[in-house]
Amino acid sequence: DTGVSQDPRHKITKRGQNVTFRCDPISEHNRLYWYRQTLGQGPEFLTYFQNEAQLEKSRLLSDRFSAERPKGSFSTLEIQRTEQGDSAMYLCASSLSGTIETQYFGPGTRLLVL
């Protein structure tokens, strides 16, 4: 247990539905990252926050994806109008900003879109 939690751990949904995932980082960590991992691949960067500010978004993050970190603590990732290609593991990680950071990963949310 790294101290980063994610909820839910698994989600099965029908195409077209909206889903929302939550990440609770280690409490003193000011940075929070979202990654997506498909089968047989390493994680890919989606977006990250420093405190409540979303500082960068990947081009992988289409308009159907939105992430928030309203109070600089937990974060949510919402996918609207899900597509089968959204099926993946969604990973959250947190860190304390610095020259060299160690990111602590959550257990991930596995999404299956039918």
The encoded tokens of residue 90 equal 């969604």
Q: Does 72 engage in binding with another protein (CB under 8 A)?
A: no
Evaluate whether 47 touches 34 at the Cβ level (below 8 Å): yes
Judged by CB under 8 A, which of 30, 52, 68, 105 binds another protein?
Answer: 105
Residue 78's φ and ψ, nearest 5 degrees, are: -110, 135
Least Cβ distance, residue 89 to another protein (angstroms): 5
Beta bridge partners of 112: 12
Least Cβ distance, residue 16 to another protein (angstroms): 25
- Contact region with another protein (CB under 8 A), list: 18-26, 62-70, 75-83, 98-106: 98-106
- Choose between 12 and 16: whose C-beta lies nearer to another protein: 12
What would the x/- binding string for another protein be over residues 48 to 67, using CB under 8 A?
x-------x-----------
Q: Does 99 engage in binding with another protein (CB under 8 A)?
A: yes
Nearest CA-CA partner of 37 in 105, 87, 103, 106: 87
Distance CA 107, CA 114 (A): 22
Q: What is the DSSP letter of 85?
A: G
What is the residue type of 81?
Answer: R
Contact residues toward another protein (CB under 8 A) are: 2, 33, 35, 37, 40-45, 48, 56, 89, 91, 93, 99-105, 107-108, 110
